[in-house]
Amino acid sequence: MKTPDDKRIIFTYHSLPSKNAALRWKARLVFEPGSTDEDVAEMEVFDGDGNKVASGILEFAGQRLKVKDGKTSISCGDFVKGKHEPSIWLHRAGHPSSPGVVTFE
Amino acid sequence: MRSADMMRRYSITDGDLMGMLYEEMLGRGKIELYRGDGSFGGWLRRYVRGFILNANPNRHGEISIDGFAGGEDGEDSKMDIPAHDHEVIRKEVWDMIHRCFLDLWRDDPERAYIHLLKTRFHLSSEEVRDFLDTSSTANVDQIFSRSVKFMRSAWELHEREGF
- pLDDT per position in chain B (163 positions), as tens? 455 555 555 555 556 666 666 677 766 777 667 666 666 666 766 676 666 656 555 544 434 344 344 444 444 444 444 444 444 445 677 788 888 999 999 999 999 999 999 998 999 999 999 999 999 989 999 999 999 999 989 988 888 887 5
Domain ranges (residues) in chain A: 9-103
pLDDT of residue B98: 86
Instruction: Say how far apart CA B140 and CA B52 lie, in whole Å.
Output: 21
pLDDT of residue B26: 67
Task: For residue A19, give the DSSP letter.
Answer: S
Task: For residue B140, give the DSSP letter.
Answer: H
Could you tell me the pTM of the whole model? Answer: 0.67
Task: For residue B149, give the DSSP letter.
Answer: H
Q: Enumerate residues 6+ apart whose C-beta is below 8 A from B140.
A: B15, B114, B125, B128, B129, B132, B134
What is chain B's percent helix, strand, coil content, to nearest 5? 70, 0, 30
Whether the Cβ atoms of residue A45 and residue A90 lie closer than 8 Å to each other: yes
Cross-chain residue pair A102–B110, CB shorter than 8 Å: no
**Averaged pLDDT, A92-103:** 93
Partners of A90 in beta bridges: A58, A98
Cross-chain residue pair A1–B133, CB shorter than 8 Å: yes
**Averaged pLDDT, A82-90:** 96
Helix crossing, B125-132 with B109-119: angle to 10°?
A: 140
B10 interfaces chain A, CB cutoff of 8 Å = no
**Averaged pLDDT, A50-58:** 96
Q: Which three-class secondary structure state does DSSP give residue B10?
A: helix
pLDDT of residue B39: 66
Instruction: Say how far apart CA B116 and CA B131 lie, in whole Å.
Output: 12
pLDDT of residue A76: 97
Cross-chain residue pair A104–B110, CB shorter than 8 Å: no
Mutate: best of B92, B104, B131, partner A, most A CBs <10 A: B131
pLDDT of residue B13: 59
User: Of all residues in chain A, what percent carry a pLDDT higher than 70?
Assistant: 100
Task: Looking at the complex, report in whole angstroms how far the Cα of residue A10 sits from the nearest Cα belonging to chain B.
Answer: 9
Whether the Cβ atoms of residue B53 and residue B66 lie closer than 8 Å to each other: no
Query: Strand locations in chain A, DSSP E?
Result: 9-15, 25-31, 40-47, 55-60, 63-68, 71-75, 89-91, 98-103
Give the residue with greater pLDDT, B20 vs A93: A93
Cross-chain residue pair A83–B110, CB shorter than 8 Å: yes
∠ CA B113-B3-B13 to the nearest 5 degrees? Answer: 35
Q: What is the mean pLDDT of chain A?
A: 95
pLDDT of residue B158: 87
